[in-house]
């Protein structure tokens, strides 16, 4: 037998190692993705108030619309009530006061030179329940005004479609990983048996 060619068993084991590496990487990646905490604060802002208060028309946006314990963001538009023009230089603060448990929260809502219309603030709510949201507007010419809202904050939940889909994905990846492993082991044993059979055959010598 020519020793310059790689052994069939060695080639098979190399392929097994490569496939197992790919399967393991896929499996671990899927598990890592599923292990990440679900993000509930993503998504577009929803308008929860549009009212005329004092000299202002105040529009309040909330994200997420269905508030869940954790980060809740507010974007506030402030317009002059009479002219409808935006007020780009107001001082805006957002307060959250719990009706039962939890500490009162406050966050400044700031705009940017690139977007003077929206004042954005973020609160960290740690308790479920009904919270009073006060948006306070202060301006040196137009005066001070406050709009008060109520929002219910819900407990975090890992149930729902995301969990079901994630569980199904995890099961399928696990089955595929185990199936590939057994298939490769079985194929390797067959190749090894065939190689032993060939080696044990009587060798023919040239006359």
Rounded Cα distance between 46 and 60, Å, is 8
N residues, the chain: 207
Residue 12 has a CB neighbour count (10 Å cut-off) of 18
pLDDT of residue 23: 55
Judge if pTM exceeds 0.85.
no
Spatial contact of 18 and 180, defined as CB atoms under 8 Å apart: no
Helix (H, G, I), strand (E, B) or coil at 153: strand
For residue 153 the two structure tokens come to: 């904050």
Give the pLDDT score at 35: 42
Question: In this predicted model, what pLDDT tens digit does every residue of 42-90 receive, in sequence order?
Answer: 357 899 999 999 999 999 999 998 899 999 999 999 999 999 999 999 9
Give the other-Cβ count within 10 Å of 78's Cβ.
26
CATH H-level, domain 46-153: superfamily: Domain of unknown function DUF4426 (2.60.40.3340)
Which parts of the chain have pLDDT scores under 70?
1-43, 158-167, 169-171, 173-174, 176-183, 202-207
Number of Cα atoms under 13 Å in the Cβ half of residue 152:
3
User: For residue 49, what is the enclosing H or E element?
Assistant: strand 46-53
- 55 HSE (CA, 13 A, CB side): 14
Strands 115-125 and 105-112: antiparallel
């Amino acid at each position: 037998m020519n020793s310059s060619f790689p052994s069939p068993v060695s080639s098979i084991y190399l392929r097994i190692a490569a496939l197992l590496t790919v399967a393991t990487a896929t499996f671990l990646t899927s598990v890592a993705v599923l292990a990440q905490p679900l993000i509930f604060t993503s998504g577009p802002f929803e308008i929860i108030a549009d009212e005329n208060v004092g000299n202002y028309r105040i529009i309040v946006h909330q994200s997420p619309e269905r508030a869940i314990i954790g980060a809740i963001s507010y974007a506030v538009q402030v317009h002059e009530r009479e002219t409808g023009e935006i007020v780009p230089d107001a001082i805006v603060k957002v307060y959250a006061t719990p009706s039962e448990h939890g500490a009162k929260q406050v966050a400044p809502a700031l705009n940017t030179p690139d977007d003077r219309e929206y004042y954005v603030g973020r609160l960290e709510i740690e308790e479920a329940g009904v919270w009073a949201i006060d948006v306070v507007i202060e301006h040196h010419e137009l005066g001070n005004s406050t709009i008060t809202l109520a929002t219910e904050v819900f407990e975090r939940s890992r149930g729902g479609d995301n969990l079901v889909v994630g569980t199904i994905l995890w099961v399928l990846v696990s089955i595929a990983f185990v199936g590939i492993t057994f298939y490769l082991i079985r194929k390797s044993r067959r190749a090894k048996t065939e190689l032993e059979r060939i080696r044990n055959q009587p060798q023919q010598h040239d006359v």
